[in-house]
Amino acid sequence: MSLAAVLDGVSFGYRPGQRVLEDVQLELGEGEFVAVAGPNGGGKTTLVRILLGLERPSEGSALLYGEPAHRFSRRKTLGYLAQRSVAGGDAPVTVREVVSAGRLAAGGLLGPLRRRDRELVGDAIERVGLAAHADLPLRTLSGGMQQRAFIAKALAGEPALLVLDEPTTGVDAESQESLAGLLDTLHSDLGVTIVYVSHEFGAVEHFVQRLVLVRRTIVFDGSPDDLPGVWHDPSHVHARE
């Protein structure tokens, strides 16, 4: 299996003497659907920021598709859904405007969107089930629907690697399950490598092939089935057959 990302002996601190991450060893294969979980402040977001090349490790190395992550040359193949609750400033922003922003890197920066870009935007909106809401302001939709719009934005860029940081913050348990199901469908239909970061992994643990628990370093890396029972998230009750 080709590797999408490799973190080799990565340590990191935002100031001298601080250790947010310590000797992290992680390999992500192309086409994997991985959940990265752990307590708040455990280093999850820092880990994905290093993985995406937004931060450089203090020690060790971070590679994306074989290139140093901070100098990765094919950035338009990366989709990132940062932790958020609202889009932009005070102006109302429609679902279509949010998703169109996903074609910025791949579709060219200047002038209006081309026909193919508009088609990809429409496809992405349809895929996440928001076609009927495409021209409504985002702020009029529920938290779960807003997150679907941002997932569609990431999809519109046709990413090979999609990283979602706490995509279910402020979303009720039912919508979390629905989002997880959507990601599972995208993964199986499109073959996108997905990294799902969350302090709670109950919604995705029956979809992901692999669960990585981070608490300054990696304390568990394996199938959710191998996770000790007491570590499972009790807020999500699944009928796991």
Partner 1 sequence: MLESEFMRLALGAGAVVGLLAPAVGFFLVQRRQSLVGDGIGHVAFAGVAAGILLDVAPVLTALVAAVLGGIAIEVLRSRGGAAADQALALVFYTGIALGVVLISAAGALNVDLFQYLFGSILTVTRADLAVIAGLGAIGIATVGLLYRPLAGIAIDEEGARVAGVPIGALNVATAALAAVTVALAMRVVGILLVAALMVLPVSAASRIAWSMRSTFLLSMAVGLGSALVGLAVSYYADLPPGGTIVLVAAGTFVACSLARVLSGRD
Residues that bind partner 1 (CB under 8 A): 52, 54, 75-76, 78-82, 84, 87-94, 97-98, 100-102, 104-106, 109-113, 135, 137, 150, 153-154, 157, 163
CB 83 within 8 A of CB 166: yes
Q: Which is nearer to partner 1, 153 or 216 (by Cβ)?
A: 153
Q: Which is nearer to partner 1, 111 or 234 (by Cβ)?
A: 111
**CA distance linking residue 237 with residue 241, whole number of Å:** 12
Q: Which is nearer to partner 1, 12 or 72 (by Cβ)?
A: 72
Minimum distance of partner 1 from residue 78's CB (angstroms): 5
**CA distance linking residue 152 with residue 170, whole number of Å:** 19
Q: Which is nearer to partner 1, 160 or 211 (by Cβ)?
A: 160
Minimum distance of partner 1 from residue 170's CB (angstroms): 17
Q: Which residues contact 92 (CB under 8 A, 6 or more apart)?
A: 137, 138, 139
User: What dihedral do alpha carbons 55, 108, 124, 119 form, nearest 10°?
Assistant: -170
Minimum distance of partner 1 from residue 220's CB (angstroms): 27
**Number of Cβ atoms within 10 Å of the Cβ of 29:** 14
Minimum distance of partner 1 from residue 50's CB (angstroms): 12
What is the DSSP track for 48-69? HHHHTTSS--SEEEEEETTEEG
Q: Which is nearer to partner 1, 91 or 230 (by Cβ)?
A: 91
Minimum distance of partner 1 from residue 64's CB (angstroms): 11
Residue with tokens 């890396």: 221
